[in-house]
Structure 1
Amino acid sequence: MQSTTDPIARDCDHLVIQTLPLFEMMRMRAATTARRHPDLGFAAPQRESAVRWVNLFTHTHRRLGPQDKEVVSPNNDTVYSNAWLDLSEGPVVIESPEMGDRYWTLGLLDAWTNPFAYVGRRTTGNRPQRTLVHGPGWHGPVPPDITQTIAAPGDDVWLIGRHLVEDDGEDAARVRASQAAMRLVRLDGSDAAMRVDTWMDGRDAGIPSADRYLSTVSAALRRNPPPEGERQAWPPTETALQMSLPAVYERLRTSNQPHDLGGGWAIPVMVKTHWGDDYLTRARIARNFIGALGVEEAMYPTAEVDARGAPLDGSQRYELRFAPDRKLKVGAFWSLTMYRRSDCLFVANPIHRYSIGDRTPGLHHDADGGLAIRLQAEDPGPGVNWLPAPRDELFYVVLRLYQPHADHLELRFDYPPIQPI
C-alpha cells in the first residue's frame, strides 16, 4: 500500500473512500438492469453494448439453492424483485397489488447506498398501492390516487424487493402472480421504461482503472449530488487515482470490522436510513455487502466460531440453543442459514434444507419452551432440529431477523454461543 504520509496520496485515498459507493452502485446498475424488455425487445442490438432498460422490474421466481453460485451468502427465505429508477425525465409510480398477509418489502437505496425509504409490509402495509417517487428537481401536482410520495435525493434509485415464499409450489405461484402485477409507470399510466447507457460491463468486479473510475463518478455526481453536508474536492488527478484505487480497495477487503455482539456473533451492517459521515463503513459495505437494507427491516447476525472461539468445522457437532427467556423477537420471521466458508454458498445435503427457522415444518421445541438446533454433517435422528453442515469443511451461519424488535436493534439481545457437543 502507498504511504499515508504523502498528503496528496492521503487526500486522494479519502476522496476514493467517499466516492467509492457511488462507483459501486453504478457498477451494480450495469450488472442488474435488463437487456431485454418483454414488449420492446433488446435495449441495444449489440450483445456487448452497455445500454440497458431502467424503470423496469426483473424478478426471480424460486428460492436459491446450492446450484446457484452467482450471489454469495444468499437467503433461502424470499424471492427477489429488482429495478433501477431513472428520475431524470420525471417521476415514476410504483404500482403494487394486494399482498394479503405476506411479508414483502421494496427497499429504496440512493446512489450513495443510503437505504432512505421503503414500501411494504412494515412501512406502508399490504394494500394495493401507487407510490410516486420523484427526484430533487421535480415539483408538480400529485394525483389523488397516489397512496404515498417519496422524494429521492438524486436521479438514480435502486429498488430491491423481497417476497417471503413458503414453498416451491402453490405459494411460489401466488408470489409470481403478485410480482407480475407490479409495474413502473409514468403519472399518465404509460410504461416508464427507458434505455440508458450504463457506461461499463457490470460483470467486472475487479479494481477499476483510474480513467473508468474518474469518468463514471464524474457522470454519476452530475445526477446524484453528495448527501447534504458532505464536501468533496472532486476531481482528483488520474495519476493520484492510479495510486489510490488499489490501496483503498485492498484496505476495504481486509479491514472488515463488524459490530461484535458477543458469544461469537457479529453483525456486518448497522445502518437505519443514512450512513451520515461514516464514510469508511459506507465504503466497506458498498464494496463487500452492497444492497444492504436498514436494520429496522432486517438484521443479519453472523457466527463463524463456536463458544471457545474455534472456527465452525463440519467434522464436529454443535448445538445452538435459544432458552425460553432468550427467544428471538421479530415482527415478521427469522431463519438460520448455513454456508461453506470456502465459497460462501449453500451446502448441498440429503434433506435439501439450507435454512431453518420459525416457519420450518415440524420444528421441535424443548419441554421448557426452549429451541435447540443441531449443526452437523450427519443426521442426528428423529425429533431433532437439524441444519446440515458440510462434511469436513469450515462453515458459518447467518441469523436473519426480519422486522427485529428493539432488543435486537438496540443491541441488548444476548445471543447464545454455538456449543460444541
Structure 2
Amino acid sequence: MASEHLRELAAHAYLYGFPLVFNLDQVDRYVREGIGANPAAPFNTFSHARTLAGPADTFVTINNDTLYSMGQVDLSVGPVALHVPDTAGRYYVLQFVDAWTDNFAYVGHRATGTAAGDFLLVPPGWTGQAPEGSTVITFPTTVASIVGRWACAGDADLPVVHALQDATTLTPLDPGARPAGLPMPDPAVDADLLFLEKLRLWSQAFPPAPRDKEIQESLVPIGIDREGSSPYVGGADAETTEALRAGLRQGATDLDTALTHGSSPEVNGWKLTLHAFDYNLDYFEVGALDDPRFKIADPKLRIIERAAAAKGGLWGNHAYEAAYIMTYLDEHGEQLTGANTYTLRLDPTPSVGAFWSITMYSIPDFYLVANPIDRYSIGDRTPGIVYDDDGALTITIGHTAPSDPKARANWLPAPAGEFRPVLRMYEPGEAVLDQTYVVAAITKT
C-alpha cells in the first residue's frame, strides 16, 4: 500500500511539476546552447533570431510567422530596465512567462501600442523607486522568460526587423551583479528520478503561486520539500525507487492522454485550445487581462491543462493575443498522415486584427517539417496564394506536390508520416473568441 501511495504521488508530481521542469530545461538550453536560429545568450540579454524559423529550430510548436527575440531574465541581480523602440504600427509582442509558465504581462501592439517605451522589471516583493517614465512589471518568480515575436513579411523585410530587434534592450540597474541562474541537480541522482530532483530544487528556488501550496505540501512524502542534499542519491530502498519510477511513467502517460484528449472543445476535428493557457489566476501585470473569460476555475483541470499546454505549445499566448486551434484528424476522425492528400477550405478566412497562418508540425515532436519548397506555413501574407471566386481559400495539404497550378500555389507540404497543423490567429476578432467562427474539417481527397 505504501508503494502504491508513492506511485500515485509521483504521478501527481509529474503533472504538477512538468511545466516548471520542462520550461526551465528550455531556459537553461537557451542560455547555454541557444535553439535553432536563436543563439545562446546570457541571462538579462536578448537572443535574436535573424531568420524565420525552420526545421532546424527544434522547439515545440515554434511559429514561422515572426522573428523571435528571446530574453531569459534573472532578477536575482535586482531590477532590469527594458527599452522597446517605436515600430511604427508593425505588429510585435513581448510575452512575459514566469518559471511555472504563467503569462503574466504583455508589451506590444495590442497591449501597449507601438510607440517607444521603457519598463522596469522587478523581482517579487520589490519596493524601490522606478526611474521617471518607466512602467514597473513585477515578476512572480525571479527567473522568467520574455518571448518576443516580430511580424516579418519575408526576406526583404528582414533588415527592418533586425533594426527593431537591436533597439530592444535589457539593462540591469546594477551592472556588476552576477545572476544566480538555476540550481543544478547533483549528477549522482538516479537518471530515472532526475525529474523529481529538478522539481525539488526549482520549486524551492522559484515558489509556486500561494494557491498551489497545498499541492506542494502533498508531495512531502516523496522528498520535494527536502532542503540540502538530494533524497534521490542512494539511500532509498529498491521498492521505493521503483514506485517513484512507475509513478513518473504513469504521469507521462497521463500527460500524453491529456494532450490528445483534453478538455478543449472539438469542432470538425479541430481542438479549440482558446483557453489552454488560462491557468494563470494570480499575476496580472501590464497587458495581461484579469478577465474571468480567460481563467480556468476548476483547480484539478487547471493543473492538467497547464501541463498539456507546456508539452504541446510551450510559451504559447493567451487567446486574446493569439488564438490557436489544431487538429490531428480528417473529416472521418482518422489521423492525418502524409500518405494521403487533403484539402481545407476557409470560408471565410479568419477575422483578425493582425494576421493568420496555418503551420505544419510533425508528430510526436511538434517540429516544423522540411519540404522541397521551404514552406512551413501558409496564411494571409503568403505570396502567390489563389483565392476562390467567392473569396474563400482552399488549401491543399499533403506530402506530394500537387500537379494542378492553383493547388500547388496553395500547397502546405506535410511529412510522410503523421502530422498536426495549427491555425494561429493574431489579435483574433470576437467571432473567434466566442467560437461563432467555425473552421471546416480537413477532408481527404
**1:220 aligned to 2:202?**
yes
Deviates more, 1:267-276 or 1:221-230: 267-276
What is the SS of the residue equivalent to 2:104? strand
Counterpart for residue 120 of structure 1: 108
Give the partner amino acid of 1:122.
Answer: R
Counterpart for residue 328 of structure 1: 350
Q: Distance in 1 between matches of 2:308 and 2:350?
A: 28
Structure 2 unmatched ranges of 5 or more: 35-39, 224-239, 282-295
Q: Structure 1 pair 306/247, CA: closer, same or farther in 2 (3 Å)?
A: closer
Q: Structure 1 pair 74/214, CA: closer, same or farther in 2 (3 Å)?
A: closer
Residues 98 and 127 of structure 1 are in contact (CA less than 8 Å); yes or no, is this contact kept in structure 2?
yes
**1:382 aligned to 2:369?**
no
Deviates more, 1:309-318 or 1:3-12: 3-12
Tell me how far 1:392 sits from its aligned partner. Answer: 5.3
Residues 328 and 420 of structure 2 are in contact (CA less than 8 Å); yes or no, is this contact kept in structure 1?
yes
Counterpart for residue 94 of structure 1: 82
Q: Structure 1 pair 344/113, CA: closer, same or farther in 2 (3 Å)?
A: closer
Q: Structure 1 pair 412/236, CA: closer, same or farther in 2 (3 Å)?
A: farther
What is the SS of the residue equivalent to 2:16? helix
Q: Distance in 2 between matches of 1:223 and 1:391?
A: 41
Counterpart for residue 261 of structure 1: 266
Q: Structure 1 pair 133/307, CA: closer, same or farther in 2 (3 Å)?
A: same
Q: Once superposed, what is the RMSD of the aligned Cα atoms?
A: 3.0
Counterpart for residue 184 of structure 1: 170
Matched pairs, number: 393
Tell me how far 1:86 sits from its aligned partner. Answer: 1.4
The one-character-per-residue Cα deviations of 1:134-178 (angstroms, maximum 9, x if unpaired) are 1222101122121x221222212111111111112x311211121
Counterpart for residue 301 of structure 1: 325
Which structure: greater strand fraction?
1
Q: Distance in 2 between matches of 1:134 and 1:94?
A: 11
Residues 379 and 386 of structure 1 are in contact (CA less than 8 Å); yes or no, is this contact kept in structure 2?
no
**1:357 aligned to 2:384?**
no
Structure 1 unmatched ranges of 5 or more: 37-42, 44-51
Residues 117 and 273 of structure 1 are in contact (CA less than 8 Å); yes or no, is this contact kept in structure 2?
no
Counterpart for residue 139 of structure 1: 127
Q: Structure 1 pair 127/5, CA: closer, same or farther in 2 (3 Å)?
A: same
Q: Distance in 2 between matches of 1:35 and 1:192?
A: 24
Deviates more, 1:108-117 or 1:240-249: 240-249
Q: Structure 1 pair 32/301, CA: closer, same or farther in 2 (3 Å)?
A: same
Counterpart for residue 274 of structure 1: 280
Percent sequence identity over aligned pairs: 31
Q: Distance in 1 between matches of 2:363 and 2:6?
A: 39
What is the SS of the residue equivalent to 1:149? strand
Residues 301 and 398 of structure 1 are in contact (CA less than 8 Å); yes or no, is this contact kept in structure 2?
yes
Give the partner amino acid of 1:10.
Answer: E
Counterpart for residue 229 of structure 2: none
Deviates more, 1:108-117 or 1:365-374: 365-374
Matches within 5 A, 1:19-418: 19-34=17-32, 53-66=42-55, 68=56, 70-146=58-134, 148-168=135-155, 170-187=156-173, 191=175, 194-200=178-184, 209-210=192-193, 212-230=194-212, 231=214, 232-233=216-217, 234-238=219-223, 239=240, 241-256=244-259, 257-258=261-262, 259-268=264-273, 270-272=276-278, 274=280, 277=299, 278-323=302-347, 326-341=348-363, 344-376=366-398, 377-384=400-407, 385-390=409-414, 393-418=417-442
Tell me how far 1:83 sits from its aligned partner. Answer: 1.5
| TM-score computed with the length of structure 2 as normaliser | 0.79
| TM-score computed with the length of structure 1 as normaliser | 0.83
Q: Structure 1 pair 27/313, CA: closer, same or farther in 2 (3 Å)?
A: closer
Deviates more, 1:11-20 or 1:332-341: 11-20
Give the partner amino acid of 1:286.
Answer: A
The one-character-per-residue Cα deviations of 1:207-257 (angstroms, maximum 9, x if unpaired) are 9643x4455334433443221322221533354644532321232134322
Q: Structure 1 pair 225/177, CA: closer, same or farther in 2 (3 Å)?
A: same
Residues 375 and 387 of structure 1 are in contact (CA less than 8 Å); yes or no, is this contact kept in structure 2?
yes
Q: Distance in 2 between matches of 1:263 and 1:192?
A: 56
Residues 66 and 152 of structure 2 are in contact (CA less than 8 Å); yes or no, is this contact kept in structure 1?
yes
Q: Distance in 2 between matches of 1:223 and 1:386?
A: 49
Residues 19 and 101 of structure 2 are in contact (CA less than 8 Å); yes or no, is this contact kept in structure 1?
yes
Q: Distance in 1 between matches of 2:5 and 2:367?
A: 42
